[in-house]
Amino acid sequence: MGKKTSKTQAVATIKPQRSINMDIIRIFAFMFVPGVHFFLHNGFYSQTVDNPRMVIMTFMRNLFLLCIPLFLMLTGYLQGNKKMEISGKYYLKIFKFVIPYLIIMTLDLIYIVYALGWEYGVKEIIHNYTSFTHYSWYVEMYLGLFLLIPFLNLIWQNLKNKKQEKILVLTMFILMIAPSIFNYYQFDAENILACTNDDYWSIFPNWWAGVYPLAYYFTGAYLAKNKEDFKLKPVFYFLIFLGTWAFFGGYTILRCWGGKASVHSWLNYNSWGIFFMGVTFFLFVSSIRFKSVPKFVAKALAKLSDLTFGAYLASWMLDQWFYPNILNKKVPVMEDRLYWFVPCLLLAVTVAFIISFAADLFYKAGSIVATDIAKEIRKHRLSKKR
């Protein structure tokens, strides 16, 4: 009995208050971001897909494209079934994203001027904050989604039954994801699959494809509300995910073989393959049952998860210097850069988290100061009334 107690004390475990699965998904989603940007900056898109290493890198890029879909499904999963009051209190929460964005963009600006040596005038400085550049297009998109969430939830939560929920998710899929199945072929070309540009035949309504965040949001909300429908063991979801990845990877290679690696509309965040890969990956991670987790591990995962937003934005800094000045110069053959992927990814992730941590400290310090100032103002007003 005594031995059992001491052993239990030695392995201090907790039943997590927050979902460790969701923290893990968010961390993976972030780590996929520098994975995508590895290919953006290393010359991948200028190469012909006609050798084993390009095939491997094409499969890898497909995997890393899950970054944005995972973030969006996670938002729907965590927010879609919440009752939200449409009030000023809700909209003030937008500053939880705006202020960290401004802090990171200020660090970007300092880095641009003093480290990269770019010449920035007043116009460029203003543009730095307002144009949502440097990977921050996601912020521009997410701020709009944030404003819509209470209304999206009104739609979702007023559906009468599961049948209507399925119809809504299917409608989102048809409008925003399905065009990637039916469009983007050149039927007047010798090889209709070899879509080397965006001059394609459109045979399916395509206008709503750009609003794909809604498809992922409602999909996440559906997965959260109907957890009991997804009871397979994690190993089976993992195998389904691998099969989906393999199938879509083979399809991508078929379309790209002998041409340049694709950056076109049929292979993007609203692609059917990326959608199904994202859903199966999400189901795999969320199906893992963590009965108990060491306290320090749970806290570390939660902290890293909270830092991913800032890390996403901060990852731009290292990329601007590292790839043109180090990797691409030291490794002139593009295909050989594959061997350096892991150290490049680890470096990018580490630096981004460090910058995000520093920005988070600054944000928290500013919040404390602002709170203290607000208290003093209230005290001063109360004393005047007396």
pLDDT digits 0-9 by tens, 82-128: 988 888 889 999 998 999 999 999 999 999 999 888 888 888 889 88
User: What is the percent of the chain where pLDDT is above 70?
Assistant: 93
Contact 277, 244 (CB under 8 A): yes
Which pLDDT belongs to residue 12?
42
Which pLDDT belongs to residue 5?
46
Q: How far is CA 95 from CA 45, 101, 102, 312, in A?
A: 37, 9, 10, 17
What is the average pLDDT across 311-337? 95
The pTM (predicted TM-score) of the whole model is 0.90
7 pLDDT higher than 60:
no
Task: Give the dihedral sign, CA 260/38/102/70.
Answer: positive
| 174-224 pLDDT, tens digit each | 999 999 998 888 777 777 777 655 667 778 888 999 999 999 999 999 999
What is the average pLDDT across 299-326? 95
Which pLDDT belongs to residue 183?
85
Return the structure tokens found at 296: 């320090």
What is the average pLDDT across 241-259? 93
Where does the pLDDT of residue 361 fall: very low under 50, low under 70, confident under 90, or very high at 90 and above?
Answer: very high
Q: Where do the domains of the chain lie?
A: 2-352
Return the structure tokens found at 26: 């968010």
365, amino acid identity: A
Contact 156, 218 (CB under 8 A): yes
Which pLDDT belongs to residue 312?
96
Task: Give the dihedral sign, CA 22/26/31/32.
Answer: positive
Least confident of 158-167, 233-242, 291-300, 373-382: 373-382
14: helix, strand or coil: strand
| 37-63 pLDDT, tens digit each | 999 999 999 999 999 999 999 999 999
What is the average pLDDT across 271-280? 97
Q: Kindly report the average pLDDT of the chain as a whole number.
A: 89
Residue identified by tokens 């350096």 is: 340
| 129-182 pLDDT, tens digit each | 888 888 999 999 999 999 999 999 999 999 999 999 999 999 999 999 999 998
Which pLDDT belongs to residue 6?
43
Which pLDDT belongs to residue 265?
73
Q: How far is CA 182 from CA 16, 193, 206, 309, in A?
A: 44, 12, 10, 34
Q: How far is CA 298 from CA 28, 182, 301, 349, in A?
A: 15, 44, 5, 19
4 pLDDT higher than 60:
no
Looking at residue 48, the DSSP 8-state letter turns out to be B
What is the average pLDDT across 349-357? 96
